[in-house]
Amino acid sequence: MKPTVAPFPAARLRRTRKSPAMRALTRETSLSPNDFIWPVFVMAGRDGEDPVASMPGVKRRTVDRVAAAAREAYALGIPAICIFPYTAAADRTEDCAEAWSPNNLSNQAIRAIKDAAPDMVVMTDIALDPYNINGHDGFVENGEIVNDRTVDALVKMALAQAEAGADILGPSDMMDGRIGAIRAALEGDNHQNVSILSYAAKYASAFYGPFRDAVGASSALSGDKKTYQMDPANSDEALRLVQRDLAEGADMVMIKPGMPYLDICRRVKDTFGAPTFAYQVSGEYAMIQAAAQNGWLDGDKVMIESLQAFKRAGCDGILTYFAPAAARLLG
């Protein structure tokens, strides 16, 4: 139905903009700390932090520091945290066995966060790239990233994370069939209440560069990820992928990156009505931070405006490195 508006001067659309109170009263979308999942990087050691040079304000933290940060984030009203490991070179192998070790960095962090902030929702990443000597999300055989063998490994990774206490599993690998395989394994291993937030529409984007620095994958990556991540030129394909993952047992779906793909967010939400999330990825964050540090933009205002864009596009929540700063501003 097309909107109808009375002719001027009966309709003066500026009337509802005349004061902060009127603007608040007629605002179409709302933004609060409840909308955020905060991605954090965990590293080995104790009581330590390392800044990520390409992501101003973002740090790698040891497990104990991640747990303390989670407690502080929960106090700010942030309901969920997502763990990404910075894996030592010695733990990156051809067989990726560290990925499903019960005591790997991610699983240590899950348990530590649950001890420090029991009500914080803990989300994980499921992909082999932090543990793969080739830097890819799947096993590499004769130059090909193979699908089915990788899915078997992802299932083992998912079960280890569920056993450690993860609330949400985030398969970010883009292998075919992995959602169905993970869901079946969770059901069979008495983890029926563990949710899956599928990276259903993950594009082969140039916006991931700073993230790969943060997890130490830049130097490890051989080639690119275009045979399994989506072509940035495609839109209809995203709907097919989302439909498949929901049918296989995903509870929620993700579009990644975020701002360059707001059209996909809107199409997915309008088409399926399922809980829809976007990831404001490292490159998006780094651009805003760099411009703010150079005095070219008002960093706080642009941060909030960028986050509002996701809600306006239909997203139910956002993974964002801005989560603590935005939560403080929003009160």
Residue 256 annotated in active site = yes
Query: H/E/C letters for each residue in 295-309?
Result: CCCCHHHHHHHHHHH
Give whole-number Cα distances, 136 to 94, 143, 146, 217, 309, in Å.
Answer: 10, 11, 10, 9, 31
At residue 145, the pLDDT reads 95
Question: Around Cβ 271, how many Cβ atoms within 10 Å?
Answer: 13
Going from N- to C-terminal start, the domains of the chain cover 31-330
CA separation for the pair 120, 213 (Å, rounded): 27
CATH topology of domain 31-330: TIM Barrel (3.20.20)
What residues form DSSP beta bridges with 197? 252
Which pair of tokens denotes residue 228? 């399994």
Report pLDDT for 221.
Answer: 76
User: Do 117 and 72 touch, CB atoms closer than 8 A?
Assistant: no
How many Å is the Cα radius of gyration of the chain? 20
- Residue 200 confidence (pLDDT): 98
Instruction: Kindly report the backbone phi and psi dihedral angles of residue 254, in degrees, each rounded to the nearest multiple of 5, phi listed first.
Output: -125, 140
Within 10 angstroms of residue 41's Cβ, the number of other Cβ atoms is: 24
Contact 61, 69 (CB under 8 A): yes
pLDDT of res. 51: 95
The whole-angstrom separation of Cα 184 and Cα 188 is: 6
Question: Is-contact 214 187, C-beta < 8 A?
Answer: no
Pairwise CA distance, residues 294 & 288, whole Å: 10
| 238, 257 contact by CB (below 8 A) | no
Catalytic residue among 202, 225, 269, 311: 202
Which of 59, 114, 225, 256 is an active site residue?
A: 256
Q: What are the tokens at 164? A: 């450690």
d(CA 38, CA 117): 14
Per-residue pLDDT of the chain (331 residues; tens, 9 = 90+): 778 899 999 999 999 999 999 999 999 999 999 999 999 999 999 999 999 999 999 999 999 999 999 999 999 999 999 999 998 888 899 999 999 999 999 999 999 999 999 999 999 999 999 999 998 999 999 999 999 999 999 999 999 999 999 999 999 999 999 999 999 999 999 999 999 999 999 999 999 988 877 777 666 677 789 999 999 999 999 999 999 999 999 999 999 999 999 999 999 999 999 999 999 999 999 999 999 999 999 999 999 999 999 999 999 999 999 999 999 999 8
